[in-house]
Amino acid sequence: MIELIPAIDIINGKCVRLSQGDYSTQKIYNENPVEAALQFEAHGIRRLHVVDLDGAASHHVVNYRVLEQIANRTSLVIDFGGGIKTDEDLSIAFDNGAQMVTLGSIAVKNPELFKKWLKQYGNEKIILGADVKRNRISVNGWKEESQQELMPFLNDYTQEGVFKVLCTDISRDGMLQGPSIELYQHILKEFPTMYLIASGGVSCIQDIIDLETAQIPAVVFGKALYEGRITLKELNRFM
């Protein structure tokens, strides 16, 4: 059964969504992210992906209080990303309730620090973020495109022990045009033991069914849920 992971993206303490990572497209869906998290939990959701978009833009964790509030008021298993650049940032994330962290930019910009954290915390707690655009990894809130190509990037880190990968097709993110199933199948063909979390483009319940049929282990989704294209009741079939 595919693991369902709703996303809560935070700007100024509010639950928002962007389109293709463009901050100018932000739309507020809930003034209180805790309310959204409680609603997810009430319908049987167990996992949550929390992204500090302010942190991603400013290169340090910003919205840790929101993380703390969600962790204190729910029993959801939370992975947190956005702005984790230093040991202090990582400690803030874990100290405020994250059970896992998603790290993308640091894996590109400072691979030695990423490897240190991977060894220190283990591959159950460290998720590699692979945000891809035109086959290259993007960093710093998707504002910068690196020279790292997707498959060699994944290969290097799986050899270091990475097990969980959150792969976002930036061209699909927030566009409600369907996920990049062929991309995810290609990744799993190369790395069959990877716990791959698909992200970007989910527009309806059929997209999640198609991902499950393609044997993708997990999916992150947000806008379709907030726009009412997917209802929490529809997700019961996956519980």
**Per-block average pLDDT, block size 10, for the chain (239 residues)?**
97 91 89 96 97 93 98 98 97 98 95 98 98 89 83 98 96 86 97 97 97 98 94 94
Q: Which residue has the tokens 């792969």?
A: 167
> Any idea how long the chain is?
239
> Exposed, middle or buried, 158 (CB in 10 Å: 0-12/13-18/19+)?
middle
Architecture of the domain made up of 3-238: Alpha-Beta Barrel (3.20)
Task: State the pLDDT at residue 100.
Answer: 98
What pLDDT sits at residue 198? 98
The DSSP secondary-structure symbol of 235 reads G
Residue type, 92: I
Active-site residue (options: 9, 52, 54, 173): 9
Single out the catalytic residue among 52, 54, 89, 131: 131
Q: Determine whether 156 is an active site residue.
A: no
Residue that the structure tokens 């609603």 belong to: 39
pLDDT for res 20? 83
Domain segments of the chain: what residues? Answer: 3-238
What pLDDT is recorded for position 164? 98
Tell me if residue 2 falls in helix, strand or coil.
coil
DSSP 147-172: EEEHHHHHHHHHHTT--EEEEEETTT
C-beta neighbour count of 168 within 10 angstroms: 25
Model pLDDT, residue 171 = 87
- The amino acid at residue 56 is A
